Chains A and B, each alone.
Chain A
């Protein structure tokens, strides 16, 4: 047998004083790390299989388990890290491209953490959201250029279709296939209760979830999985997926192992067949072609629904967004390079795209300079981690944000970044029935509602502190932000002053 060069990344530490060999860990681990030794009546571990998802740790009744970073190391080298060496071993072993999941984990600048929010003192007093009205409702869609009146002076209502959100937070696209039925149910029910929206992703809409249509954004991607007339009409808006932050420039690929049962039925491909979304839409080679897809969807839904065009944040994002704003689209969604994914080649995930903060600032500026900012709303995603990120995004010019990873963490995801294996122990990124049932949608949906409610309160507190009582007054209000530790170029792109200025 060939030598296995791999060193386990984690070590399973089991406290023998506490372990009662109840075998819960063994039953809970889909990676088969734990096993029972009947001769010695004790548990054993094979840590080569451990992904550090913490399922066993959370469920161990005697708290006997801990997963720690393995101290074992190759000879230390600042250039050739353990990870760099291991990745070479993996590719040399198999000849395959490295495949990862969830967002880029590397140490790139996080601009959210280099921006600080303003507050009122003495003049322009702050507002207490607990006793004064505070508006967090937003409408997404094209806004009319001017007010028109009928001959009797009454207002002409000719607003293009809008999405109404009680709070400027939506759940971003995650397909049925990439995530489980129970995860989708949790998102759909939470979006409905919160009066916001979740997004089907590109895998179609399970027939059970048509009832949540008024709070659903249905996605159309290059593979056109699950796209048909009823699907388009079921959603409140239609999103054309041109790109994704985790893998700009490449397509999607649901492995045949996840394409089972209702997933295959919903996508309309034979069971066990790969579901391949090619990188380009084969009918889109220009903004004019994009316009054609936008209008074919508008025609198919009688102009009743806003059309979103989602792109990844890439180098020329401002020029691309300018084209999209002229394509007839109502909303542009931009996904930053830290956005999550169910599977993406490691090299793409970790090296392609740009931070959402810079992309957002430059898109908003470009559209304002060209006088077309009101043609579209801007929604940003790609690692919005908390309510402060939301406030900063809106102050940089976003109308609303998409959260994906944060929503999954609320459902129990521990960011072990192993979605591509389909063996998610938390019942989220898997289609194995025994694992899916671990996520109880009654609990899951409530946790999502709790999260967004908590963020909404925090947003209102921060707005109140700035003396702002309407989210509209925060939008693009860059004076409410100051940079720390940023160079002049970064400040210029973000359009903000340095702290102290």
Chain B
């Protein structure tokens, strides 16, 4: 099914997507319609233009491609599936992700990957080709965040301030020689080990082939791995009354 979104109301657009038996959906001239693919599964949605906030929120196994930029809360609380953004994505991308993958070729806004979760085999992945804003991975409880800085022209740092505040699970890979300033005390930063790189290599391979980056160039750089040193960061904060 092909839909020309234009100035169509988001409710009409999303109702059409929800109700069609088609699994292949192409949206042209997308002009900020929100909630595309929210709570859906089993659809392949290709978007040309700019989808609005909460793209693919709570989605459970859709494959969503954005040929353009995405806005805020992309993949909010998604459970499974894939979101590929060929441009940049806004704030709170991947908020509370529970599974699946978000690949962003360009940059990403503030508060990305906040509160990502994981349980056993369900491990969400958020990979960013460019840079990330402040509060990356705040309260991260699980999952993998990778920031590559491939499009860096030096005008922005790889990640902004307050990276990993309250982080208590999961893993962050930063492709850089210099760590973000003022990492919280419970976040441990180490040079990526062989094992760390083995873990992330298949993901990077997938990312590179999707966006035509050269895998060797990506790997030929220094990676830091950030992990929390406790799953109970606030244990000592309280006393019983």
Interface on A for B, CB 8 Å cutoff? 87, 90-91, 93-100, 222-225, 227-230, 232-233, 253, 255-256, 264-265, 267-270, 272-276, 278, 282-283, 292, 295-296, 299-302, 345-346, 420-421
Top-5 shortest CB links A-B: A300-B39, A96-B239, A224-B96, A98-B241, A273-B231
What DSSP secondary structure best describes chain B's contact surface?
Answer: loop
Interface on B for A, CB 8 Å cutoff? 10-11, 14, 18, 34-35, 38-39, 41, 53-54, 57-60, 72-73, 76-77, 79, 91-92, 95-96, 98, 111, 114-115, 117-119, 122, 135, 138-139, 141-142, 166, 168-169, 231-241
- Contact between B98 and A268 (Cβ–Cβ < 8 Å)? yes
The interface residues of chain B lying within 8 Å CB-to-CB of A253 are 234
- Contact between A420 and B240 (Cβ–Cβ < 8 Å)? yes
Complex Cα–Cα for A100 and B240 (A): 7
A99 is contacted by which of B135, B138, B241 (Cβ under 8 Å)?
Answer: B241
Given A268-B122, A276-B168, A296-B35; A90-B60 close (CB under 8 Å): no
- Contact between A264 and B119 (Cβ–Cβ < 8 Å)? yes
26 A-B residue pairs with Cβ-Cβ distance under 8 Å, sorted by A, are: A90-B241, A93-B239, A97-B239, A99-B238, A99-B239, A99-B241, A224-B95, A229-B39, A229-B59, A268-B98, A272-B232, A273-B169, A274-B233, A275-B141, A278-B138, A278-B166, A282-B95, A282-B114, A282-B135, A283-B95, A295-B34, A296-B57, A296-B58, A299-B38, A302-B39, A346-B241
Complex Cα–Cα for A264 and B39 (A): 23
- Contact between B235 and A274 (Cβ–Cβ < 8 Å)? yes
The interface residues of chain B lying within 8 Å CB-to-CB of A100 are 241
A282 is contacted by which of B11, B18, B111, B232 (Cβ under 8 Å)?
Answer: B111
The interface residues of chain B lying within 8 Å CB-to-CB of A299 are 10-11, 14, 34-35, 38-39, 54, 57
- Contact between A97 and B238 (Cβ–Cβ < 8 Å)? yes
Given A268-B122, A269-B169, A295-B35; A274-B98 close (CB under 8 Å): no
**Contacts between chains A and B (CB distance < 8 A), count:** 156
- Contact between A229 and B79 (Cβ–Cβ < 8 Å)? yes
Given A224-B77, A228-B77, A270-B142; A282-B39 close (CB under 8 Å): no
Complex Cα–Cα for A283 and B135 (A): 13
Given A98-B239, A228-B98; A265-B119 close (CB under 8 Å): yes
The interface residues of chain A lying within 8 Å CB-to-CB of B236 are 95-96
Complex Cα–Cα for A274 and B139 (A): 11
The interface residues of chain B lying within 8 Å CB-to-CB of A98 are 238-241
Complex Cα–Cα for A345 and B11 (A): 42
- Contact between B117 and A283 (Cβ–Cβ < 8 Å)? no
Complex Cα–Cα for A301 and B40 (A): 9
CB nearest to B111 among chain A residues: A282
A232 is contacted by which of B39, B76, B135, B238 (Cβ under 8 Å)?
Answer: B39
A272 is contacted by which of B91, B231, B241 (Cβ under 8 Å)?
Answer: B231
Given A99-B240, A295-B35; A270-B169 close (CB under 8 Å): yes
- Contact between B235 and A296 (Cβ–Cβ < 8 Å)? no
Given A229-B79, A273-B168; A283-B59 close (CB under 8 Å): no
Q: How far is the CB of A183 from chain B (nearest CB, A)?
A: 22
The interface residues of chain B lying within 8 Å CB-to-CB of A282 are 92, 95, 111, 114-115, 135, 138
With A224-B115, A292-B34, A299-B11 given, name 14 new contacts (CB 8 A): A90-B240, A98-B241, A222-B115, A224-B77, A256-B231, A268-B98, A270-B119, A274-B233, A282-B92, A283-B92, A295-B34, A296-B53, A296-B58, A302-B39
Q: How far is the CB of A272 from chain B (nearest CB, A)?
A: 6
CB nearest to A349 among chain B residues: B241
- Contact between B232 and A274 (Cβ–Cβ < 8 Å)? yes
- Contact between B117 and A268 (Cβ–Cβ < 8 Å)? yes
The interface residues of chain B lying within 8 Å CB-to-CB of A96 are 236-239
The interface residues of chain A lying within 8 Å CB-to-CB of B115 are 222-224, 278, 282
- Contact between A292 and B54 (Cβ–Cβ < 8 Å)? yes
CB nearest to A300 among chain B residues: B39
